[in-house]
Amino acid sequence: MLIKEHIYTIPVTDAFRTAAGESACPICVMRRGLESDSLVYTLGPSYMEDDTRAQTDKLGFCPEHWEKLYACQNRLGLSLIMHTHIKYLSRIMDKQTDVKKPLKHAGMFAKSADPSEPLYKSLNEAECGCFICARVNRILERYIDTMFYMWPRTPELLTLARKCGGFCLAHFVMILKIGPDTLKESDWLEFMNAVFPIQRQTLESLEADLDWFIRKYDYRNAGEPWGNSKDALPRAIKAIGGAL
Ligand SMILES: [Zn+2]
Ligand SMILES: [Zn+2]
């Protein structure tokens, strides 16, 4: 393990502890923490640094993060960021009008002569990009690597994972994608042997609780106790859709 990755072991353990207390997915908790750090970072001194501003100019933000940045109340900071982002977009548009004419006559480059293609590519990059999502995902991948590294060495993680009911669907799928490439086969099998039963058990109990929740709508069951089913739907949404 790289020395650099050691700095991530504390946030990973903290996220598992918080997740156990909230019955939430630990990776959702990591993501939430990284998102709020990133909002502060984006509107902190970083936006006056040229390299950061070059990135926010190019990537912009997704609709959710524009909203969250606006809610942070730093109107001047966000206006400066938005101003140079719009200038960047305008430069792309201007470049497009410049290249339009020569491309029309460039018969031998006919394949790339569709004048809308560079405009589409450049604007699509800005439209699909988000400085905060990119930053969160980049650090989250480090956290997940660290989690894999810590797993066999830190039995507390398994205890906490049992308590929180495992990972949400999106993050379980993420684990399935990167785990086999990150861990050696025996470690991956050990990890899955521990986590798979937790995921399965969570689905089984949610299925049963939802079943009873639905059956409680039948007037014949009206007088029966709710058992664990009263909050089955929000719990299922959190387990499947992830925790905010
Ligand atoms: Zn999650
Ligand atoms: Zn975003």
pLDDT at 96: 74
Total number of domains constituting the chain = 1
DSSP secondary structure of 37-97: HHHHHHTTGGGGSHHHHHHHHHH---HHHHHHHHHTT-HHHHHHHHHHHHHHHHHHHHHHH
Ligand 1 centroid distance, CA of 19 (Å): 10
Q: Which residue has the higher pLDDT, 161 or 125?
A: 161
pLDDT of 102 > 70? The answer is no
Ligand 2 centroid distance, CA of 32 (Å): 12
Ligand 1 centroid distance, CA of 31 (Å): 8
Q: Mean pLDDT across the chain, nearest whole number?
A: 89
pLDDT category, 8, cuts 50, 70, 90?
confident
In 3D, which of 49, 67, 33 has the Cα closest to residue 135? 33
Instruction: Please identify every residue whose CB atom is under 5 Å from ligand 2, which is an ion.
Output: 62, 65, 130, 132-133
pLDDT category, 110, cuts 50, 70, 90?
low
What is the Cα–Cα distance from 61 to 141, expressed in whole angstroms? 20
Ligand 1 centroid distance, CA of 163 (Å): 15
- Between the two ends of the chain, the Cα-to-Cα distance in Å is 30
pLDDT of 100 > 70? The answer is no
pLDDT at 120: 86
Ligand 2 centroid distance, CA of 63 (Å): 7
Ligand 2 centroid distance, CA of 92 (Å): 22
Query: Where in the sequence is the domain holding 23, given as residue range(s)?
Result: 3-241
Ligand 1 centroid distance, CA of 111 (Å): 44
Nearest bound ligand to the CA of residue 174: 1
Ligand 1 centroid distance, CA of 68 (Å): 20
What is the Cα–Cα distance from 27 to 33, expressed in whole angstroms? 10
